[in-house]
Structure 1
Amino acid sequence: MGEITLPNDWAARHYQRPMFQFVFDEDGNIVEGARAVEVWHRRCGKDSASLQLMSIASQRRIGTYWTMLPTLVQARRVIWDGIDKQGRRMIDQAFPKELRASVNNSEMKIEFKNGSIWQCVGSDNYDALVGTNPVGVVFSEYSIADPRAWDFIRPILAENDGFAVFIYTPRGKNHGHTLYEMAKNNPKWHSSLLTIEDTYRDDGTHVITQEMYQDEIDAGMDPQLALQEFYCSFDAGLFGAYYTDAMAKAKLGEFPWNPSKPVHTSWDLGLRDATAIWFFQETVPGGPINVINYLEENNVPLTSWYKRIHELPYTYGTHAAPHDIKKRDPDYGVRSIDTAAEFGVYFEEAPNVHLKTGIDVTKNFLPRLQFDKVNAGRGWDCLTNYRREYNNKLQVFMDRPSHDWASHGADAMRYAALTFGEGFHSGALDTFSIIPSHGAPRRIMRQNHG
């Protein structure tokens, strides 16, 4: 094998170099525990630069490296099957074939002759990666990824002195904004925010010119979206989000459990993926509703969830569930509603309405809610990131939700709005008997108040 130089047939532009200089020291070794947040505008070479970084790292320290996209589907489309401007596969350009020992297309994984492994993964499936030990992770498009993936990975990297790089364009003031603000004020982290005014080629020409920027707007691009994409504005909001206006009226703060009041729940039951559960308490009849807790987890049997909620100290009122709760549970061969009842969870079936109607009802319901930041913060993130699916080929938003990490919590909230909100079972929070959490299970029927 002849001599190979990394990066392979690629040179970092001036604005990309600080990221490399932070992750690698003057001798080219990986800096232990490096953390970097790179907020860069669209079409300035984020994925190309991060792949070169991974290529170098894989040959400097033997270990496992991940490039994580929001979803596995995106990881394959954008990175594994991605083609650069010169018509080359991105992975072939970044990872020369001479360095490889094997390639696994189905797992999107390359094993190198030195023993290192690089793999494309998705934040939507991070829990399937349990047991692995990455020493370097790039979170591409982190602003629309599941933020819990970082919570899962960070203790691994802390233990093995691995590095993490987050590289993305803003999507409103969500977890991407929170991370950038933290990094900007943390001397142990590197951060950058690059607009089209900051990025130019070595010959001095801008990567994206003002004329190109204006052409996008003249061709129909929303000016606020253009500011987000090309000027990295966090103020534009998450385009395509369903609940931006409604969540602006909801509250996020300290709203703890009140032991003197019943707790009501709403569920999105995951038979093959995540189950999400909201926990509510009404303050006064017709007044604000406190959201005191939110639980979500993948691949947990529903029977385990039924047991788990009775381990909490709450006294329960209504348990709301989707209209298909009467379908048969594939694990038990009986209806899910009957299985739940065997474990002392008696569900109220949410009305079966069109999805758009449910979303509209939820928009009216959300302003009444007060979310506990500590215990329901994850759920808040789900609601603020719940958005319409985007068609990359047509560059338009579709008239249906994106089924991603945010959708489970949003679905569970929609069932709450349909069950507890105005227009559907109005006053339902007051019309159910209480189920003792630690007492013998008993059937709860709707009370007739005449």
Structure 2
Amino acid sequence: MNVEIPECAGFLFEPARFKVMWGGRGGVKSWSIARALLVLARSRKLRIGCARETMKSIDDSVHQLLQDQIAALGMQDFFFPLKKMIRARNGSTFTYHGLRDRSVHNIKSLEAVDILWAEEAQNVTKNSWNTVVPTIRKPGSEIWASFNPVLATDETYQRFVVHPPKGAVVVQTSYRDNPYLSDELKQDMEDLKARDPDEFEHVYEGVCRPAVQGAVYKEQLIAAEKANRITSVPYDASRPVDTFWDLGFGDNVSIWFAQSIGFEFRLIDFVSDSLKDVSFYLKELGKRDYVYGKAFLPHDARAKTLAAGGRSVQQLVEAGGYRVRIVPQLSLVDGMAAVRAIFNRCWFDAEKCAEGIQALKHYRYEKDEQMSDAKHEVFKREPMHDWASHPADAFRYFAVSIREPEREKARVEAQAPPVRVGVWS
């Protein structure tokens, strides 16, 4: 077959454990990888897994992209797209996976693949990479990744660009590598470069941002990094560890582990997973050699569910031997204000809290498409609900649990009658 592939993507046909394409928009990354995988799957029987950090439906996958390339290459008589996968005449298959789904079924299905393609890999967390890399272990198996970088501190950028593993082929691409660049895209690029050179550098050259646009806690995180409060934070065995939970249930559950020492709040650990029941998280707590204080749960932890045998999450956690406190129910705006109020007293363990820190950096306000124009971006009052929401919500519950008792104490003291000091003779 005569299949056109950009020169920058030629390495995809040579064996390597890791194959990574990264850079700016218009750099033919996804298009090239889709074509290369179809060619390889036609030449021999392959099991190919197409993954993203989160995938709630088939619409979140590269299923449509692969179908478009099958049609463009005239391979409709060889590949047969089904509702949730693609099959080929020679037995090759394309399946779709969310890396955050670490269920036994998903992990087992990933073990069978010959090639795993992680698309939009800038969102893949440290925990997900640490799970998926040893899972793809068939002899000769490969892991491919494509992404537009966001922050230089993001796990995927650090793992493959800053510190590429042995056996990795890492190629940076841009619009210059695209032989099919449309006139419309060229004009859009010229307009953006004239209007906002820094944004042009990020969007089309793949230069990392100093912070995510619309980041909710941008100033607080920048200040924490400048003050070196994202570092190695040891566990103090003389103080209890409180846990702060967000219950996303099917989406995600996130837990921060914190110690209050003097005027400091030390975030020493973090756990996040999805599609797991409460017993899984209680086991995770039990694996850690901490002396626990209280488990702070959101107000919906009181709700009883059929899946839990008619018991609430609160009852399940209490049955596990933990003292439970329900977090005061404040508005989202007041909760975010509580976070900002205590952030300068927070220290984060860079290693154990890496996934939680990444989420806080990516937690952002949703862009208002109707109000935004070519010169100005306008953001809504509500943050986006995506993979970063649950860790950020759990951190908000932590801040509220700390902040509200302090505010109440200050209120009571302010209302106390003045103490008269007399002179006794």
Equivalent of 1:228 in 202, 221, 239: 202
Displacement, 1:415? 0.3
Amino acid at match of 1:294: F
Change (3 A) 1:388 1:297: same
In structure 1, how many angstroms separate the alpha carbons of the residues matched to 2:59 and 2:2?
A: 23
In structure 1, how many angstroms separate the alpha carbons of the residues matched to 2:94 and 2:217?
A: 37
Displacement, 1:181? 2.8
Displacement, 1:141? 1.4
Matched, 1:243 2:217: yes
Amino acid at match of 1:118: F
Change (3 A) 1:69 1:338: closer
Give the alignment of 1:92-131 within 5 angstroms. Answer: 92-93=71-72, 96-100=75-79, 102-105=80-83, 107=84, 109-125=85-101, 127=103, 129-131=106-108
Give the alignment of 1:1-40 within 5 angstroms. Answer: 5=1, 7=3, 11-13=4-6, 17-21=7-11, 23-25=12-14, 31=15, 33-40=16-23
Displacement, 1:391? 7.6
Q: Secondary structure at the match of 2:311?
A: coil
Q: Deviations over 1:306-332 (max 9, x none)?
A: 455345332222321112222224313
Amino acid at match of 2:232: E
Give the alignment of 1:14-413 within 5 angstroms. Answer: 17-21=7-11, 23-25=12-14, 31=15, 33-72=16-55, 76=59, 79-82=62-65, 89-93=68-72, 96-100=75-79, 102-105=80-83, 107=84, 109-125=85-101, 127=103, 129-132=106-109, 133-173=112-152, 174-182=154-162, 188-196=167-175, 198-201=176-179, 209=186, 212-216=188-192, 223-250=197-224, 251-284=229-262, 286=263, 288-306=264-282, 308-310=284-286, 312-330=288-306, 331-389=308-366, 398-413=380-395
Displacement, 1:355? 1.5
Amino acid at match of 2:208: F
Displacement, 1:59? 2.6
Q: Secondary structure at the match of 1:48?
A: helix
In structure 2, how many angstroms separate the alpha carbons of the residues matched to 1:311 and 1:126?
A: 18
In structure 2, how many angstroms separate the alpha carbons of the residues matched to 1:95 and 1:311?
A: 53
In structure 2, how many angstroms separate the alpha carbons of the residues matched to 1:271 and 1:156?
A: 25
Displacement, 1:51? 0.5
Displacement, 1:274? 2.6
Structure 2: runs of 5 or more not aligned: 409-425
**Contact 2:24–2:173 (CA under 8 A) maintained in structure 1:** yes
In structure 1, how many angstroms separate the alpha carbons of the residues matched to 2:300 and 2:94?
A: 41
The structure carrying a bigger helix percent of its residues is 2
The TM-score with structure 1 as length reference comes to 0.77
The TM-score with structure 2 as length reference comes to 0.81
**Contact 1:172–1:238 (CA under 8 A) maintained in structure 2:** yes
In structure 2, how many angstroms separate the alpha carbons of the residues matched to 1:165 and 1:393?
A: 36
Q: Secondary structure at the match of 2:220?
A: helix
In structure 2, how many angstroms separate the alpha carbons of the residues matched to 1:300 and 1:187?
A: 34
Q: Secondary structure at the match of 1:119?
A: strand
Q: Deviations over 1:284-339 (max 9, x none)?
A: 1x2x2221111222233224434553453322223211122222243132343234
**Contact 1:290–1:370 (CA under 8 A) maintained in structure 2:** yes
In structure 2, how many angstroms separate the alpha carbons of the residues matched to 1:341 and 1:73?
A: 31
Amino acid at match of 1:257: Y
Identity %: 18
Mean Cα displacement is larger for which, 244-253 or 187-196? 187-196
Structure 1: runs of 5 or more not aligned: 26-30, 429-450
Aligned to 1:425: 405
In structure 2, how many angstroms separate the alpha carbons of the residues matched to 1:208 and 1:96?
A: 28
Amino acid at match of 1:189: A
In structure 1, how many angstroms separate the alpha carbons of the residues matched to 2:211 and 2:168?
A: 25
In structure 1, how many angstroms separate the alpha carbons of the residues matched to 2:86 and 2:402?
A: 51
Displacement, 1:393? 9.8
Displacement, 1:116? 1.0
In structure 1, how many angstroms separate the alpha carbons of the residues matched to 2:117 and 2:367?
A: 23
Displacement, 1:348? 1.7
In structure 1, how many angstroms separate the alpha carbons of the residues matched to 2:280 and 2:53?
A: 28
Q: Secondary structure at the match of 1:190?
A: strand
In structure 1, how many angstroms separate the alpha carbons of the residues matched to 2:394 and 2:356?
A: 10
Question: Post-superposition, which runs of at least 4 consecutive aligned residues in structure 1 deviate over 6 A?
Answer: 204-207, 391-396
Displacement, 1:404? 3.1
In structure 1, how many angstroms separate the alpha carbons of the residues matched to 2:234 and 2:268?
A: 6
Aligned to 1:440: none
In structure 2, how many angstroms separate the alpha carbons of the residues matched to 1:393 and 1:134?
A: 43
In structure 1, how many angstroms separate the alpha carbons of the residues matched to 2:287 and 2:115?
A: 38
In structure 2, how many angstroms separate the alpha carbons of the residues matched to 1:172 and 1:306?
A: 33
Change (3 A) 1:189 1:403: same
**Contact 1:200–1:207 (CA under 8 A) maintained in structure 2:** no
Mean Cα displacement is larger for which, 109-118 or 246-255? 246-255
Displacement, 1:95? 7.3
Displacement, 1:66? 2.1
Amino acid at match of 1:47: S
